[in-house]
Chain A
Amino acid sequence: MIENIDANKKFQKELNSGTAALVLLSLLDQAKEPMYGYQIAKLMENADGMIPIMKLGAFYPVLRSLETSGLLASHVDPSVSGPPRRYYRITDNGRATLGSWVHLWNRTRDFVDNILRGRTDG
């Protein structure tokens, strides 16, 4: 049973590593203004089922990676109550990339769904 839990965790982690960037790009694409890490995390908390599958701390390195790749841009603003905050926004390159990633995601999802449907139907 323990082995099973470990296998589930590993599988979930593999899924997350591919989807985190897509989720973050999509959230920032929908945002009206630049958002800092905690605001993005709150949006994810509101998205059904996000929290149990991924720790919020794991999104921060993905944000930084996306920024280094030029898909996001950021600036730091001081905060009255605590440490300075890094605000992220999606770039034009990020929007274009998101478009192709959504297409790939839909294809992958349909493919997996079809296979799984066959398994349950059969």
Chain B
Amino acid sequence: MDKQIDEYLGRLKNELKGCDRSLIQDALADAREHLSTALDNALKKAPGLKQQEVWQSVVDKFGTAGEVASAYREAEVRLGSPLTSIWPSRPKPVLSRFLGPLADARAWGAFIYALLSFLTGLVYCGWAIVGGLFSLLALFFIFGIPLAGLFLFSLKGIALVEGRVVEALLAVRMPRKPLFVSPDLKWTAKIKALFFAAQTWKALVYFILQFPIGVLYLFVIGGLFVISLAFIASPVLELGFHLPLELLGAEAFTPAWLLPLVCLAGLVLLPLTLHLAKWAGTLHGRYAKAMLVKD
């Protein structure tokens, strides 16, 4: 029966050729979940029936690979990507386009991701380096292989979590379910498959690089954001609370005639920072998909 399900999934994958990789992964996971449960139940209910007949009736109800693939394509077209507005876009004036990110969920999502990636990057990178080195050292001992296996499995789990964060904040479609591994496979075979999967090593590289990338995001995007807020608030802070503007460790009061210009600079810098965050988020989403989603 597993062979028939695998063949069906092969046909479904073929029918979905050209679609988003995450959508294909989700469609295959859904189909596998349904077909294996439906087959299992049907065989239990009517043990006398031929397996081929049962399989045929399950597929008749579920739909052929072509029918199911077309349902996924249509649903994706109808819904579009997450956080995408359902309203048709019209050409907007320049000022509206410049200020647009202030009211754009995707820009704010990318901004939050940029700040968050410092923390997640620290955790991912720490785990990838410490866990990786520990597993490598443990390989010299008898318990080394299961430990290394656990480490590789953890990478798969973290990749799924990071995928959810990327989808929620950067609006890039990522897998919602891990790739299925048959429970009948021995654990040694599962570890072997993980070891030889390019995806495992790509995910490891992604996690290690996530820390320096997170630091860069925090300093550039977070820094620009703080500067823009400080500039905007400078008239109130300096005139109202007698707090000097502090930049790179140096404190200074701005001449009163310059304050409106500083405030204006802040008002320009804030949407620019969000434009930068959105652009970086788009690039990061593509990079995350290339590194964390299986071809």
A residues within 8 Å of B by Cβ? 17, 36-38, 41, 45, 51, 55-58, 60-62, 64-65, 68-69, 76, 79, 81-86
Q: Do A38 and B34 touch (CB < 8 A)?
A: yes
- Distance between Cα atoms of A40 and B176 in the complex (Å): 19
Q: For the complex, would chain A's binding face be called helix, strand, loop or mixed by DSSP majority?
A: helix
Q: Which residues of A contact B93 (CB under 8 A)?
A: none
- Distance between Cα atoms of A82 and B41 in the complex (Å): 12
Chain B residues 61-120 with CB under 8 Å of chain A are 61-63, 67-68, 71-72, 74-76, 78-79, 82
- Distance between Cα atoms of A55 and B33 in the complex (Å): 16
0/1 string, B188-215, CB within 8 A of A gives 1: 0000000000000000000000000000
0/1 string, B29-46, CB within 8 A of A gives 1: 111111011101100000
Interface: B11 (CB within 8 A): no
Ranked 4 nearest A-B pairs via Cβ: A55-B63, A61-B75, A57-B68, A58-B71
Interface with A: B177-185, B240-248, B261-269, which one? B177-185
Q: Do A65 and B79 touch (CB < 8 A)?
A: yes
Interface: B162 (CB within 8 A): no
CB distance from B63 to the nearest CB of A (A): 3
Total interface residues on B, CB under 8 Å, equals 31
Q: Do A60 and B82 touch (CB < 8 A)?
A: no
Asked whether A68 and B82 contact (CB < 8 A) given A62-B75, A81-B40, A83-B33, the answer is: yes
Interface: B27 (CB within 8 A): yes
- Distance between Cα atoms of A62 and B30 in the complex (Å): 12
Q: Which residues of B contact A64 (CB under 8 A)?
A: 26, 30, 75, 176
- Distance between Cα atoms of A61 and B79 in the complex (Å): 10
- Distance between Cα atoms of A81 and B29 in the complex (Å): 15
CB distance from B79 to the nearest CB of A (A): 4
Residue of A nearest to B183 (CB): A82
- Distance between Cα atoms of A19 and B35 in the complex (Å): 24
CB distance from A119 to the nearest CB of B (A): 30
Q: Do A57 and B37 touch (CB < 8 A)?
A: no
Q: Which residues of A contact B178 (CB under 8 A)?
A: 84
Q: Do B63 and A56 touch (CB < 8 A)?
A: yes
Q: Do B33 and A38 touch (CB < 8 A)?
A: yes
25 contacts between A and B (CB under 8 A): A17-B74, A36-B33, A37-B34, A38-B41, A55-B67, A55-B68, A56-B34, A57-B30, A57-B31, A58-B63, A61-B30, A61-B71, A62-B71, A62-B75, A68-B79, A79-B37, A81-B36, A82-B36, A82-B183, A83-B29, A84-B33, A84-B177, A86-B30, A86-B33, A86-B177
